[in-house]
Structure 1
Amino acid sequence: MTAVQILHPNGQPAREQLSSWQGAGGGFGGQLERWKPALKTLDAALLPQLDLGNARAEDVTRNNAFAANGVQLHVDNIVGHLFRLSYKPRWRRLGISDVDARSFAQDVEAWWTEYAEDPIGCWLDVERKRTATMMVREAIGTHTRLGEIMAAVEWLERPGTKMRTAIKMVSPKRVSNPGGRADTASLRHGIEFDRGGAMVAAWVRQSGAGGLGFGNGMANEWRRIERETRFGRPKFIHIFEPTEDGQSRGANQFLAVLEQSHMLPKLQHTKLQNAIVNAMYAATIESELGTEAALEIIGAGDAGTDNVAKYLMAVNSFHNGSKLALNGVKIPHLWPGEKLNLQTSGNVDNGFTDL
């Protein structure tokens, strides 16, 4: 005789199914049998839909009050109103005393505040629109929406300041493959790599005519910016938190909640409209009267309002004559052919407040 085997709902031996990880099995009752996501690298899962995901994230932060305030609160908690420099030199390695190091640090911090936080000059910004704190706030906000920070380090000769280094903030949406070419092993979504996987350069799409709101504000020209000069000076800054090897771009934090963030406001608007409609009518009465008779009763016919008064008096007399009650509760006896429909708002919310 053959040994008795207990089978799993998927037809396989139950002992083998139960001895493995439950999350990797078929699930109790086979609920997980059809859940078979593809095993991909992060770049393979992210890059094909990166632009669409970033566009949706920006749309949500523009039009969803909770998302917009969440980004603003995140920026305020991290940066605040002033991003101060706290300079602590290693005085022992510099060969100076602790007292001299403290004095030197105070001079450096005072100079930095005077130069980087000048609201008039804005010398640290290539566009001369931002102070250092404003640039950091913009960087944190961009990282929250798009998952990464990008900037170009420029060397400029400008009257009014002896400093030549300036920072050009770069929106991650501008970094892409030139001409829309496909990704390769050495060029993935605007980031160029060497054999070891280290970033070599970035391809930044230049600004173009806005088209009076119909264009995307970007031209069909790309500028290649190297990561650093041949003597090691940084030229392009790319900051993101990789979660696995080989990752080339950052994933924004809204990708996991975009569907809910987009649909919940629509549900709220629909429920609000439903509540308004239900609040318009407390009750309705269905009658077997014809259209002309009904119009005359409500005063829209030739007889005017006299018929309304006569009808209401007749109905009132009929209702007053009814003395039906059950355990002290009055039972209405309607006019022949009438139906009383109470319009309740019990289903207006439908659990939305708890949701």
Structure 2
Amino acid sequence: MVLALCWSTGGVTRILDNVVGTHLRLSASPDYRALKARFGKAFDATWAMEYQRAAEALWRGYSESLGRWNDVERALTTGQQFRLAMRHKLIDGEGLALAYWMPERVGAGGAEYATCIRLIDPDRMSNPFQGPDTKNMRGGIEIDEETGERLAAHIRRAQQNDWYLSVEANTWERVPFEDDDGFTRVIHDFDRDRAGQHRGISAFSPILSHARMLARYYGLELQQASLAAALGTYVTSPYDPALVQEALGADDAAAQELNAYQQMRAEWSQERPAYFNGVKVPTLAPGESIESVASPHPHTGFADFAHEMLGLYSAATGLSREQITQDWSRTNYSSARAALMESWKTLMRRRGEFTTNFATPIYALWLREAMENGELPLPAGAPSFVEAATAYSRCRWLGPARGWIDPVKEPAGSVLRMEAGLATLESEGAEQGVDWEEVADQRQIEQKAYEERGLPPPKWAAIQGTGDFFKDDSESNAQKP
């Protein structure tokens, strides 16, 4: 139902484009303060910076591998896996993946890491043989009777309706959420609306009934427009056959007179054809006329009704009405910015929950292997990954930029926040989907290139304050003594 409606499909696309985009960029930020408090002063900001750069570089090689070794099926990059998992979460209510350890792939010309991920359609997770829920089995998830902890997931080997895999479709595999050595096997992300909930609910569930109403209304409106566009005509004559026959009598002579009249009408039309610009014009007998059938429209409230229904759709999805309809003709700058700011809060909440429950666990799986391979800088006596997994795996994910409606005023506000100490280049860059260190490194390269070529530095290279940067030359010259 979701994919059959253009508004739902567009809404899914808008959310994906804002939450994930083409990929999520890792910004590693190990909790060096926690590590320092627990394991010694060797864990400081300098070490954290070195660790961050190494982890991010190695992660890019893994997640964007040309061989797609991050994917069990070798079909998607990690960024594409994130996008597909988020799509499942929006439509099906949950994203599901299994982690595999495949050392046979590692080697020259092959994978660099044995850790790989496989996305699973959430429909495949169900109770074995479609059995009912019990106290320790809920929707394919095996739970601990005492604590409610998730122990294992029961997953079909194939889709339920795959007739060519009928045997596998009726075979369930029990996959523990975590191995004995702490290796996460099942990554299951969904939004919980109630305590004790074990399966997700689609974000579009509340609006399906309204979507059906609007889709039906569109169909009825199209039928009405088609009916109104059709031209129905009929020919009227002042002589009714029954009345004429009655007036002339019911004898044979009267019938012959009536037939003669009808024959005269037919001959009149055949012998006197008329054409206008190549189109034949009907010729009528004396006393006849052409009448049309009118099809009046009962009301004209379709646009307002659709606008109101899409407003309900907007409220349920957390997107603005303009993002749903892609119609900005009724919106000015202030209302558009207010609407986008409100929808941005929901989008950031979606991104935060998705990265916490799905992206970061995958990063932690890879990071564990990278650390065990000795590829990351660690001080002497550093704890193993298992001993401080949370501190080592701490990170942020940079997604698509929020963007600017006014590319002059809003950057000025960004600079003002940094000068007032209310923001940093890191936070402002993250909002625009860029890494502040990469920006600073690139600016250093560009300044050096200007110097080598003997060119005057660009205006931003000599910026001293917000006022100096956003003044034009006339204002600056006017203030000089």
TM-score by length of 2: 0.50
Pair 1:91 & 2:91 matched: no
In structure 2, the residue matched to 1:112 is 59
Verify: 1:241 aligned to 2:191, yes or no: yes
Do 1:283 and 1:342's aligned partners in 2 also have CA atoms closer than 8 Å? yes
Please show how residues 182-261 of structure 1 align to structure 2 within 5 Å: 182-195=132-145, 196-207=147-158, 210-211=162-163, 219-261=169-211
Q: Give the residue type in structure 2 aligned to 1:352.
A: F
Quick check: 1:175–1:203 contact (8 Å CA) kept in 2? yes
Higher relative contact order (CA 8 A, sep 6+): 2
SS in 2 for 1:304: helix
In structure 2, the residue matched to 1:69 is 10
Give, in whole Å, the separation in 2 of the partners of 1:217 and 1:272. Answer: 46
RMSD: 3.3
Among 98, 113, 132, the residue aligned to 1:152: 98
In 2: Cα distance, 1:282 partner to 1:169 partner: 57
Match of 2:129 among 179, 182, 204: 179
SS at match of 2:55: helix
Paired letter, 2:154: W
Equivalent residue letter for 1:137: R
Q: Separation in 2 of the partners of 1:218 and 1:265? A: 38
Structure 1 residues 1-355: aligned runs within 5 Å: 60-92=1-33, 93=35, 95-118=42-65, 120-157=66-103, 158-159=105-106, 160-195=110-145, 196-207=147-158, 210-211=162-163, 219-281=169-231, 301-306=266-271, 312=284, 314=286, 343-347=294-298, 350-355=300-305
Q: Distance in 2 between matches of 1:351 and 1:305?
A: 48
Q: Deviations over 1:64-118 (max 9, x none)?
A: 1111111111100101122100011233425244234223211211111121012
Q: Deviations over 1:280-315 (max 9, x none)?
A: 22776655656899xx99x99454344677965855
Take 1:199 and 1:311, find their aligned partners in 2: how far apart are those partners?
84
248 and 291 in structure 1: CA distance in 2 versus 1, 3 angstrom threshold: farther
Aligned residue for 2:304, secondary structure, equals: coil
Q: Distance in 2 between matches of 1:133 and 1:179?
A: 34
In structure 1, how many angstroms separate the alpha carbons of the residues matched to 2:143 and 2:115? Answer: 26
Unaligned runs of 5+ in 1: 1-59, 316-334
Residue by residue over 1:199-243, the C-alpha shift from the partner in whole angstroms, topping out at 9 and shown as x without a partner, is 11110011268347xx99961111000010123221111111212
Contact 2:269 2:284 in 1 (8 A): no
Residues 162, 169 of structure 2: 8 Å contact kept: no
Distance across 2 between alignment mates of 1:135 and 1:301: 74
SS at match of 1:223: strand
Q: Which has the higher helix share?
A: 2
Give 1:169 deviation, angstroms.
0.8
Distance 2:221 2:168 in 1: 40
Q: 2:339 matched to which residue of 1? A: none
> How far apart, CA to CA, are the structure 2 residues paired with 1:301 and 1:218?
74
Q: 1:339 to 1:162 in 2, by over 3 A?
A: closer
Q: Counterpart of 2:335?
A: none
Query: Does the C-alpha gap of structure 1 residues 68 and 300 become closer, same or farther in structure 2, counting only changes over 3 Å?
Result: farther
What is the identity, as a one-letter code, of the residue corresponding to 1:76? Answer: D
- Closer, same or farther: CA 96–260 of 1 in aligned 2, 3 Å: same
Structure 1: distance between partners of 2:265 and 2:99: 77
- The residue type equivalent to 2:14 in the other structure is L
Q: 1:207 to 1:311 in 2, by over 3 A?
A: closer
Q: Is the 8 A contact 1:75 1:140 kept in 2?
A: yes
| Distance in structure 2 (CA, Å) of the matches to 1:126 and 1:84 | 21
Aligned residues: 268
Q: Give CA-to-partner distance per residue, 1:152-198, whole Å, 9 cap, x none.
A: 11111214123111111111100111111111111111111102111
Closer, same or farther: CA 152–243 of 1 in aligned 2, 3 Å: same
SS in 2 for 1:130: coil
